[in-house]
Amino acid sequence: MIEGLAWTLIALIAITFAGYPLAVLALSRFAPARPWHHAGTAPAHVPDIAVLICAYNEAAHLGAKLESVLAETARWPRKAAIWVADDGSSDATAAIAEGFGVHVLRLPRGGKAAALNALSARVEGDILVLSDADPLLAPGSLNALIAPFDDPRVGAVAGEVESAKGAGGGRFDRLYRAYESGLREAEDRLFGCVSADGGLLAIRRELMPHVPPDGTDDFHISTAAVAAGKRIAFARHAVAIEQPIAGGRKTMRRRVRITVRGLTALWRRRGLMNPARTGGYALGLFFHKFARRFAPVLVLPLALCAFALALTGSAFWTLASLAILAAAALGFIGWFAERRLPKILRVPYLLGLHLTGLIAGVALFCWGTRYAQWTPQKSLS
């Protein structure tokens, strides 16, 4: 009975992290690539756009960010307004933005959701482009991001967010983002991208929703397109480049908060997991945003099963138990001696922290914890 439960848990974890991605990648081979998957794609019908940036104490990053945005909008043949909402910063964020001649909205500290709602109520434009205050736009990203809107079925577009090359501590982040990009493009071929990353996304003006304060804003905004009967496209060549967070501890704390906020947002959009309403997208949303967060929790009962079966003398389960204990020891040692870990151990260590953050986030969400306002931990590696 215990062994049957253990294999069931293994199967559920394997289906979530290997079965679903492999099935999507395999099926996508039989689906044509979207026109916007090709490099150099530009929109046939050029709309008026507004670029929205929310910033809180981003004086160190905002200048370079605005330079990269202005380089893109300078070549835009129609109206392209740039708006920066200063969320009650205590540094020179607002002054820096004003120095670039863009529209600046000074607000009291209220959180990113409040800033986004204030901006969206004021700006004009057919398409709203949203981007965080620190990632830099790569050349050609604006054309690539807007091109999918030529298809009237597309309501929102997710850009590609990459970690800066050569930044220390970013290897795991780059590997994870490469995996995500491949999966998103495959999903886009089949039923549309599941959601967008706040580093770079765009949405039709009429679909922009009111953003609640306690969920992930990028998920809530992008999935408003699906709720309206549209799809989310993935524009791989619309690239925002960000610096990875320095240190596994900060990464894990960030993962905990994102998991809580992500599940809060998913609960609000739970109706989109109904296949009768959204078809294949419902399956993608379930595996990508629900199962992937809850599957790591299954490792805990799996470990108990493995320990119990090891006591019966099973060689396989003894080895499995030793592997679990070794992973736990790596996490414990790495937590206190992170900078001294050999390079070969850093990726499995960070992967373990990522999964631990998911488990902690799920537990806090189920406990009723919510984060209505929090400050992302960002630092150059």
The pLDDT of residue 329: 85
Q: What is the Cα–Cα distance from 230 to 209, expressed in whole angstroms?
A: 14
Structure tokens at 364: 């806090």
Encoding tokens for residue 53?
């940036």
Phi/psi region, residue 313 (left: phi>0; alpha: psi -120 to 50; beta: rest), is left
Query: What would the two tokens of residue 373 be?
Result: 């306002």
The DSSP secondary-structure symbol of 150 reads G
Interval 191-228: pLDDT, tens? 999 999 999 999 999 999 999 999 999 999 999 999 99
| Helices 299-310 and 315-336, axial angle in degrees (round to 10) | 130
The half-sphere exposure of 190 on its side-chain side, counting CA atoms within 13 A, is 24
C-alpha to C-alpha distance for 231 and 193, rounded to whole angstroms = 7
Q: With 70 as the cut, is the pLDDT of residue 78 above it? A: yes
First to last CA, the chain: 48
- Phi and psi at 109, nearest 5°, equal -60, 115
Q: How far apart are CA 364 and CA 26, in angstroms?
A: 35
- Beta-bridge partners for 202: 129, 157
Pick from 280-284, 299-303, 328-332: least confident: 328-332
pLDDT for the residue 90: 93
Mean local confidence (pLDDT), 28-41? 89
What is the average pLDDT value for the chain, to the nearest integer? 90
pLDDT at residue 364 is higher than 80: yes
Residue with the bigger pLDDT between 142 and 246: it is: 142
Strand ordering across the sheet containing 201-204: 103-107, 80-87, 49-55, 127-130, 201-204, 154-163, 231-242, 136-137
299 Cβ contact list (under 8 Å, min separation 6): 13, 355, 359
| Amino acid 337: pLDDT | 74
Query: Mapping DSSP to helix (H, G, I), strand (E, B) and coil, where does residue 108 land?
Result: coil
Which residues fall within 8 angstroms of residue 71, CB to CB, at 6 or more apart? 137, 139
* HEC sequence for 155-171: EEEEEEEEECCCCCCCH
pLDDT at 246: 62
Summarize pLDDT for 103-159 with one digit per residue, the tens.
Answer: 999 999 999 999 999 999 999 999 999 999 999 999 999 999 999 999 999 999 999
At 170, the pLDDT band (50, 70, 90 cuts) reads low
Distance CA 272, CA 281 (A): 8
| 287-302: average pLDDT | 94
C-alpha distances out from residue 358 to 172, 234, 263, 277, 346, Å: 16, 25, 11, 28, 18
Both structure tokens of 285: 């949303």
Instruction: Give the C-alpha distances (Å, rounded to integers) separating 43 from 47, 79, 149, 326.
Output: 9, 14, 8, 52
- 52 confidence band (pLDDT: 50, 70, 90): very high
Q: Note the pLDDT of residue 381.
A: 40
Does pLDDT of 297 surpass 80? Answer: yes
Residues sharing a CB contact under 8 Å with residue 127, sequence separation 6 or more, in sequence order = 47, 48, 49, 50, 146, 149, 202, 203, 204, 205
> What is the mean pLDDT of the segment spanning 346-373?
87
Q: What share of the chain is helix, strand, coil (3-state, %, to 5)?
A: 55, 15, 30
Q: Which residue has the tokens 């848990």?
A: 9
- Closest among 245, 141, 160, 148 to 199, alpha carbons compared: 160
The percent of residues in the chain predicted with pLDDT above 90, rounded, is 74
